[in-house]
Structure 1
Amino acid sequence: MSTYHYGNVNGPAGYGDHGRAGLGNGELDLETLMDVADRLTETLNAEYPELVGQGEIIQRELALSAEDGLPPNRGRIRSALENVAIRAAAGTGSLTFTQQLTYALGL
């Protein structure tokens, strides 16, 4: 499994210790990225059901990366994250997870 080095990612309250995603030294592995994508999709389902498909795109791209060992398709992920960011209101979990993934992937 690949390890992605993207620095620290701050999360919403209750996500990891002291708002951090439990990343230790700041490195995000693919498993952690997939977990954040799963949480994004779950949160979208509750807050913006019409955007669940965008979360599923991100999940699918990360799962494909896990299967083939190649980096995820950043263009597809970026487009999906932008679609969510445009619609999600400030202070929502959806926007928080979107920002985490955007930062973690350097988009």
Structure 2
Amino acid sequence: MSTYNFGNRPADFAPIDLRNGTPDLDTLMTVAGWLTDALRAEYPGLVACGESVQRELALSAEDGLPPNRGRIRTALETVAIGAGAGTGSLTFTQQLLHALGL
């Protein structure tokens, strides 16, 4: 994990811990929000990808069904291709990919 400051995330931020299974939806939504914030600061052209992930997770919370993994994977892979190493955008993308098993 990078030592860069990723903006206004909480001081107690830690990577998503998968030892207890898949994180809950609230945790995933929080990290997706941090991803979108990081994209706004680092890669404004990719903000729509972060918003897409947030939208899919919010829809899942609303209807109680699993999130659309295909749409989330497409958005996260787009970010992974465009984001540079050591950036918050890439770190949050990798965490979400790993947490969702994509």
TM-score range, shorter chain: 0.7 to 0.9
Bigger fraction of residues in strand: 1
TM-score of the pair, normalised by structure 2: 0.84
Residue matched to 2:20:
26
1:93 partnered with 2:81 = no
| Counterpart selection for 1:102 from 82, 97, 100 | 97
Contact 2:59 2:67 in 1 (8 A): yes
Shift of the 20–84 alpha-carbon distance from structure 1 to 2, 3 Å rule, reads: closer
Residue matched to 1:7:
none
**Cα offsets for 1:37-87 (capped at 9, x unmatched):** 000000000000000000000000000000000000000000000000000
TM-score of the pair, normalised by structure 1: 0.80
Shift of the 75–24 alpha-carbon distance from structure 1 to 2, 3 Å rule, reads: closer
Residue matched to 1:6:
none
Residue matched to 2:7:
none
What one-letter code is carried by the residue in structure 2 that aligns with 1:103?
A: H
Q: How many residues align?
A: 94
Identical counterparts, % of pairs: 65
Moved over 6 A (4+): none
Q: Which has the higher contact order (CA 8 A, sep 6+)?
A: 2
Task: In structure 1, list runs of 5 or more residues that go unmatched.
Answer: 1-10
